[in-house]
């Protein structure tokens, strides 16, 4: 089993309540650090599980069992070129060359702030593209896909979330290879 690190962003509980942290611990978040910043609950996990998918599903279940509403899972799926460079362990100039089409064709287009000086890309799309060109490992691309799919399904109830995540991850694996 591996240790998977991620953060669940949540709302719905009063951080000043006497039982705030206890609720998370009793719900199974004993492998997480609980914090409250900028109006959000941050549940920072280091969870041992056979896969990231299993770690995310169980952590979402635990946070919900504590009474919180899950907003999203991080690491953030929207990334700048600098963020991508750090995650891919490549230089920012290499990523800029990919984006501009100087080194290879077909780099995914930005998803947000498209017309600004600091566009953002979907990390799952970019990491899949980089994986197909042997610039990141399969594990890096898979983790990005799992987090992206989990965020897309976060509003589902517990059983539906697990089932849908499993189905989408299997489909993403087929698409990646």
Looking at residue 129, what is its pLDDT? 95
Of 10-14, 96-100, 165-169, the range with the highest mean pLDDT is 10-14
- In this prediction, residues 145-152 reach a mean pLDDT of 93
Q: The whole model's pTM is what?
A: 0.88
The answer to whether 25 and 17 have CB atoms below 8 angstroms apart is: no
Measured CA to CA, the distance from residue 31 to residue 91 in angstroms comes to: 33
Element (H or E) spanning 131, and its range? helix 123-132
């Amino acid at each position: 089993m591996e240790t998977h690190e991620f953060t669940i962003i949540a709302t719905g509980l009063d951080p000043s309540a006497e039982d705030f942290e206890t609720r998370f611990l009793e719900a199974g978040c004993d492998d997480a650090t609980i914090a409250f910043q900028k109006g959000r609950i941050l549940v920072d996990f280091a969870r041992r599980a056979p896969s990231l998918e299993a770690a995310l599903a169980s952590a979402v279940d635990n946070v919900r069992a504590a009474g919180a509403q899950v907003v999203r899972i991080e690491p953030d799926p929207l990334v700048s070129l600098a963020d991508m460079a750090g995650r891919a362990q490549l230089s920012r100039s290499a990523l800029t060359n990919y984006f501009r089409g100087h080194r290879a064709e077909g780099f995914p287009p930005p998803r947000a702030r498209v017309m600004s000086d600091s566009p953002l890309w979907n990390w799952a799309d970019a990491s899949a593209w980089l994986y197909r060109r042997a610039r990141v490992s399969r594990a890096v691309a898979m983790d990005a896909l799992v987090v992206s799919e989990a965020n897309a399904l976060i509003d589902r109830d517990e059983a539906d979330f697990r089932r849908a995540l499993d189905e989408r991850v299997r489909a993403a694996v087929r698409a990646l290879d």
